Amino acid sequence: MNKFIRVLSLFSLIIFMASCFSEDRTEEYNSLVSDDKWIDEVLEKYYLWNDSLTEVSESDYFNDANDFLAKRVYKKALDGKGDTFSYIEWKDTISTRVNINRTSGYGFEFEVMTDPLRTTAHTMARVLYVMPNSPASEAGLKRGDWITAVGGDQLTVNNYTKLIDGDATSLSRSKIVYDQDSVRLWKSLDIVPIGKSRFVELNPFYLDSVYTIDNQKIAYMVYNEFSTGPKNQSGETEYGNRMLNIFERFKAIGTDTFILDLRYNSGGYLTCAQELASLLVPASALGKTFCTLKYNETGNLKDETILLDPKYQMGNLNLNKLYIITSRYTASASEAVINCLKPYFGKDNIIVVGETTYGKPVGMQAFNDEKHKFIIWPVVAYILNAENTANYNNGIAPNYELNERKLIDSLYPLGDTREYLLHNTLALITTGSVSNKSYSFNNNTTTILQTSLNKHNKRGIIIH
């Protein structure tokens, strides 16, 4: 289809140019290329890699805005990964987007994967977590459930989106059991009816707890998105206030150690990252550099320094060591927090447990013009720490590599001290080492085919 459109566009250009010999159609031409020419203007001024834009031909200016942007961005950015973050947002979908971004449909997150036992050719989904007050929670769905069918249809990579939203349906669950020879196999468990999908608030503060172990008070927070409020729009303060309240409570309890769980956090607003870092950093660092926004050298945007905000002193935990749980989904603002705290903790006092993160050391900004029906969100800056570094194009590697995807056993609820990543992080704090003795693992290679987490913010850090 894209090839057909390009051929049609080129043909149209030829016809148009030919017609110009007989009459002046400059105004019509300008109208046809206006959107893409404006994209060019923005990229040439503000795009971080504006000196490495992909060359285009005149016929490309007749392309759809999305296609033109994809063609123009720097293909070798970030050590060859390329710019997959810059994007177009159509204005007539923004009101819908606010609801889409703030809803989870049925209210659970999952990974779609090949059979980890390799005993079938089936595709199945494993539930990562369930949102409270959602159709999924009302249906009794829980973390670790294996879903093999939806509405009676075997789950495939082509129909997995039926698990995200839709009408009332049913989900078939299975579990792994052992036969008399201790061989693992699948057993059908039950069929669960689930109500119609609906709006579910994606409260980023999924869980916060305090554990007292060997006279240590260990605070733990599962933080799933750097969002500002229920609508996740710039200027909202509801979630910022909630974050401060949580930390004030942690501080009043007398927290000795803190575990920040970012395993399912793919990023969001830089302002939220600044708030979180200001609550976690040693108190002596407040007022100092959180990050520097490093723009291109030719545009109108000047490098900017964002400070660790002293107004969060009342909730600041004044920590000297921090434990962070990560996964392949940890990205963007999550990585910025880790990187930007390192100069104040020292690299040996930020302990990362889990998987290597995604690798998004860049920020984005919106550009709007009333003449056009879309907003362009290009990558505009590197997010550098106080040492002017952001060396994680390929992700931040963990100090202790642990992968919950390899577990055969059911996943314990987040916050349960038996839960694999939390259990080992607590062991690391209290004993100095991790232990896998009480868990069963899959030695086969499991392929992750899709994940519901892709529907959340997968772009760069939102600067403004």
Question: Beta-carbon neighbour count of residue 56 at 10 Å?
Answer: 14
pLDDT of residue 15 exceeding 80: no
Domains of the chain and any CATH numbers? 105-194 (2.30.42.10), 205-442+458-462 (3.90.226.10)
Span 142-189, pLDDT tens digits: 999 999 999 999 999 999 999 999 999 999 999 998 888 888 899 999
Alpha carbon separation from 453 to 65, 106, 218, 336 (Å, rounded): 26, 13, 28, 19
pLDDT at 100: 41
Model confidence at 464, in pLDDT bands (50, 70, 90)? confident
pLDDT > 90: percent of the chain: 76
For 44-53, 99-108, 337-346, which range has the lowest pLDDT when averaged over its residues?
A: 99-108
Q: Are 343 and 292 in contact (CB under 8 A)?
A: no
End-to-end CA distance of the chain: 35
Is residue 438 predicted with pLDDT exceeding 80?
no
**pLDDT tens per residue across span 406-418:** 888 779 999 999 9
Average pLDDT over the chain, rounded to an integer: 90
Question: What is the rounded distance in angstroms from the CA atom of residue 261 to the CA atom of residue 209?
Answer: 12
Return the pLDDT at 80.
94
**Distance in angstroms (rounded) separating the CA atoms of residues 335 and 42:** 27
Mean pLDDT computed over 102-131: 89
Tens-place pLDDT, residues 281-299: 999 999 999 999 999 998 8
Q: Over the stretch 61-95, which tens digit does the pLDDT of each residue have?
A: 999 999 999 999 999 999 999 999 999 999 887 75
DSSP class of 409: S
pLDDT at 37 over 70: yes
pLDDT mean over 431-446: 80
At 369, is the pLDDT very low, low, confident or very high (cuts 50, 70, 90)? very high
